[in-house]
Structure 1
Amino acid sequence: MPLPVTLEDIERAAKAIEGAVLRTPLLPARHLDEITGTSIFVKYENLQDTNAFKERGALNKLLSLSAEERAKGVIAMSAGNHAQAVALHATRLGIPAVIVMPLNTPHVKVAATENYGATVVLAGETVDDAREEADRLSKEHGYTWVHPYDDSYVIAGQGTIALEMLEDMPELDVLVVPIGGGGMISGMAIAAKAKKPSIEIIGVEAVLFPSMHNALSGKERPAGGNTLAEGIAVRRVGALTKEITSELVEDIILVSETQIEQAVNAYLTQQKTIAEGAGAAGLAAVMAQPERFRGKKVGLVLCGGNIDPRLLTSIMLRELVRSGNIISIRCTIPDRPGILGEISTLIGGLGGNILEVSHHRLFLDVPAKGATLDVTIETRGSTHAATIIKALEDNGINVAHLASADLRN
């Protein structure tokens, strides 16, 4: 049975969007090679105008509309990158666009979508609620749906990513692609398998949202939760994308929230580029299972870079805790003059930098003549941190790690 999208569809999409969507670079990532023990090549879709790959499929769909459909306008449902992609290119083409977003969508995303020229309607508490409102408005006003993933034109547009990757690096052995609704991996798999049948296609989902994994395996792992990879946090995959993925994708790897955090941090610190959680999912899979990819040339799609700067800062700090570069300890000490100076002198003498100190006298689990001292210390790494802790203990100070130690897991 033929698939609903062909290589010819994707090649037509490539010509249609040429010049309006950036042909992003595919570059070697030698620092990531050292972390994973493989040869990684990154496709930087975070360099698009909206900082995400969604422009490809959205524009290809918009270009397929008749004059009558353009005049009536389009509607989309999205809380993120798809909304901005539709808004940008619909405005550029003179097509009225309505984007329905859940009520709890962050204001920065609503503002960005409006700034691209779309009319934003806030409706419902969930994405499914927003979809129902978009359906209603579409029927009422005759808007054309621009679906985020389950549309043949959208799938073809996303497939242009793989065309470019294999043009730039024909030697790629495997593509590791994030999966939300499945539009990107479907288009990429069709293009890549047609150009190079031997290439392996591996999908990646957040363990909290294993929707395609469930759909293909028949399992019923729970889907839901507060994931860093909200861009691929989809409960229901598309009918078209399920069909294509089941036919062409070899496997789906599920990655944890910690693994996604570590991949976001690796992109930032090693490649000096910004990835949102969904954008880093492919790297998270390779870092989680490096032996699976060892000796292969691996193509990754950094599919989006829209992440809250405060969240990015938090991820960086959490990674410093995991690596032992920042430690938080609780010292049980005698309550006598000079003890704080002695401790700070000891830590400073060993090269530790005290970031924060909190002194408590009223905790009931220490003697009345004692106290606790919570200290956050910047170190040169876990070995250096262990040296500081041993020195404190050798000087008669009881030391316990605080809850931040749990982040190492």
Structure 2
Amino acid sequence: MTQTENDPAVTPPGEGLSVTLDDVRAARELLDGVIVHTPLEHSRALGRRMNATVHLKCENLQRAGSFKVRGAYVRMSRLSDEEKARGVVAASAGNHAQGVALAAKKLGISATIYMPRGVALPKLAATRDHGADVVLHGSNVDEALAEAQRQSEETGAVFIHPFNSTDVVAGQGTIGLEILDEEPEVDTVIMGIGGGGLLAGNAVALKQEAARRGRRLRIIGVQAENAAAYPPSLAADALVPLKGVRTIADGIAVGQPGEIPFEIIKELVDEVVTVSEDAIAEALIFLMERSKMVVEPAGAVGVAALMEGKLEALGIEAENIVAVLSGGNIDPMLMLKVIQRGLSAADRFLTVKLMLKDRPGELAMISRIVSETDANVIGVDHTRIGGELSMGDVALVINMETKGAEHSSLVLNSLRAEGYEPMVLN
């Protein structure tokens, strides 16, 4: 993909779509003074991995912790006075809830947000702190969504969809204009996909504004492999619902694309790739350690795709990349689990189980071996009770911090050299 300035062969793509560059520009005017112009941070560490220039668009630092307030505010600001008086209703387990609640507060509109029972307490508290009335309903977002739509029909409150709205799509696309203003030479932009509002809006903004400037660039969408509704839908050229969506990236755990974003994405987006749960966890750790960024799993999938070599697998030779960190609202309890999983995926966390004879000195022997390998023991479980244990045996489970795959192998080989049979549990 060449990028020749003022190349007459570059024509505006996506003509006739439901959202245009003018719509995104109008949304940017509405958002002036409402949102934060989030920074574009240079990541030297990621750039060395990619052999390219890499920047991070830090929407995790946006008001309410994610990009969602952009689209919610644009949609709600365009309601008539009569609609505003009726109030709004929405459903979400996190970011959309907070975006709607904050936008409603700014616009003086009453908001009722349906959230599933068991929603993370920080997200529940944040939504209420923005002034919304929160109703806990159902065991998942789909059940909360159905109840929110029912209440909208019954009460007349305006339902604010998280992604299937032209106003929402245009609002999310304002990120792309900010990227091009700060990094006009970008050739590849990569970001996550749930229902598709974020990707669709930015595809319009980036592709059409770049074409206006006589340039071309690539747009790459990323889904968690256990919640990837777009690849089969794009292949079938129809909305294909998924069953059993389950991922740590709850912000993009959507079982079916939105109709409006789907039409834009199939026209303008170059590639959609998927990443593993381990890759997401490892990316989250990388961002915390190397970029000092607290990012939720859904916000880290673009970085996960870069780290997992997805561009190379597609044969893409990118020189100037922007990855969008779409949100930073992570539940501390989930963070603990993700950190452990990320460390394990990077071979920096090792859990082994050993069967020992119940006699003096065995535990001291294990401690000596581990100590000599310079592994850091952070937890030990020692038990004499269990169906797998014979009389006179004990089971020992050790959690250790290691320095990588080579170091983990050293620990295991050292135990084996002394006659033990360690079973790796992580």
TM-score, normalised on structure 2? 0.87
Do structure 1's residue 277 and structure 2's residue 300 form an aligned pair? no
Corresponding residue number in structure 2 for 1:168: 182
The alpha-carbon deviation at position 388 of structure 1 amounts to 3.4
Superimposed CA distance per residue, residues 108-160 of structure 1 (whole angstroms, 9 cap, x where no aligned partner): 32222121111122333443333332223223332222221111111111110
Corresponding residue number in structure 2 for 1:248: 268
The alpha-carbon deviation at position 322 of structure 1 amounts to 3.3
Aligned to 1:155, the other structure's residue is in SS state helix
Do structure 1's residue 383 and structure 2's residue 383 form an aligned pair? no
The alpha-carbon deviation at position 295 of structure 1 amounts to 3.9
Corresponding residue number in structure 1 for 2:62: 48
Taking structure 1 as reference, are residues 379 and 133 closer, same or farther at Cα in structure 2, changes over 3 Å only? closer
Any gaps of 5 or more consecutive residues in structure 2?
1-14
Aligned to 1:304, the other structure's residue is in SS state coil
Tell me which of 379, 399, 402 is aligned to 2:421: 399
Taking structure 1 as reference, are residues 400 and 342 closer, same or farther at Cα in structure 2, changes over 3 Å only? closer
Corresponding residue number in structure 2 for 1:123: 137
Tell me which of 226, 229, 232 is aligned to 2:246: 226
Q: Take 2:301 and 2:324, find their aligned partners in 1: how far apart are those partners? A: 9
Q: Take 1:359 and 1:77, find their aligned partners in 2: how far apart are those partners? A: 46
Matched residue type, 2:421: V
Do structure 1's residue 189 and structure 2's residue 207 form an aligned pair? no
Q: Take 1:27 and 1:153, find their aligned partners in 2: how far apart are those partners? A: 28
Taking structure 1 as reference, are residues 42 and 347 closer, same or farther at Cα in structure 2, changes over 3 Å only? same
Moved more, 173-182 or 116-125: 116-125
Corresponding residue number in structure 2 for 1:105: 119
Corresponding residue number in structure 2 for 1:38: 52
Corresponding residue number in structure 1 for 2:9: none
Aligned to 2:66, the other structure's residue is in SS state coil
Identity value in percent: 38
1:9-408 aligned within 5 A: 9-197=23-211, 198-218=216-236, 222-288=242-308, 289-291=310-312, 292=314, 293-360=316-383, 371-395=394-418, 397-404=419-426
Aligned to 2:153, the other structure's residue is in SS state helix
Q: Take 1:133 and 1:342, find their aligned partners in 2: how far apart are those partners? A: 60
| Alignment check: 8 A CA contact 1:79 1:109 kept | yes
Tell me which of 3, 9, 21 is aligned to 1:7: 21
Moved more, 73-82 or 120-129: 120-129
| Alignment check: 8 A CA contact 1:75 1:98 kept | yes
Please give the root-mean-square deviation of Cα atoms over the aligned residues, in Å: 2.3
Corresponding residue number in structure 2 for 1:407: none
Q: Take 2:142 and 2:349, find their aligned partners in 1: how far apart are those partners? A: 41
Matched residue type, 1:378: E
Superimposed CA distance per residue, residues 254-284 of structure 1 (whole angstroms, 9 cap, x where no aligned partner): 1221221122121112211111111011112
How many residue pairs end up in the alignment? Answer: 403
Aligned to 1:231, the other structure's residue is in SS state helix
Aligned to 2:171, the other structure's residue is in SS state helix
Any gaps of 5 or more consecutive residues in structure 1?
405-409
| Alignment check: 8 A CA contact 2:224 2:301 kept | yes
| Alignment check: 8 A CA contact 2:245 2:255 kept | no
TM-score, normalised on structure 1? 0.91
Moved more, 352-361 or 239-248: 352-361
Taking structure 1 as reference, are residues 227 and 392 closer, same or farther at Cα in structure 2, changes over 3 Å only? closer
Q: Take 1:32 and 1:152, find their aligned partners in 2: how far apart are those partners? A: 34
Matched residue type, 1:390: N
Q: Take 2:127 and 2:160, find their aligned partners in 1: how far apart are those partners? A: 15
| Alignment check: 8 A CA contact 1:101 1:127 kept | yes
Q: Take 1:3 and 1:362, find their aligned partners in 2: how far apart are those partners? A: 66
| Alignment check: 8 A CA contact 1:37 1:290 kept | no
Matched residue type, 1:389: L
Q: Take 2:241 and 2:91, find their aligned partners in 1: how far apart are those partners? A: 26
Superimposed CA distance per residue, residues 56-115 of structure 1 (whole angstroms, 9 cap, x where no aligned partner): 111111221222222221222222111111111211221111222233433432222121
| Alignment check: 8 A CA contact 2:223 2:275 kept | yes
Superimposed CA distance per residue, residues 287-314 of structure 1 (whole angstroms, 9 cap, x where no aligned partner): 2224144442111110011111122122
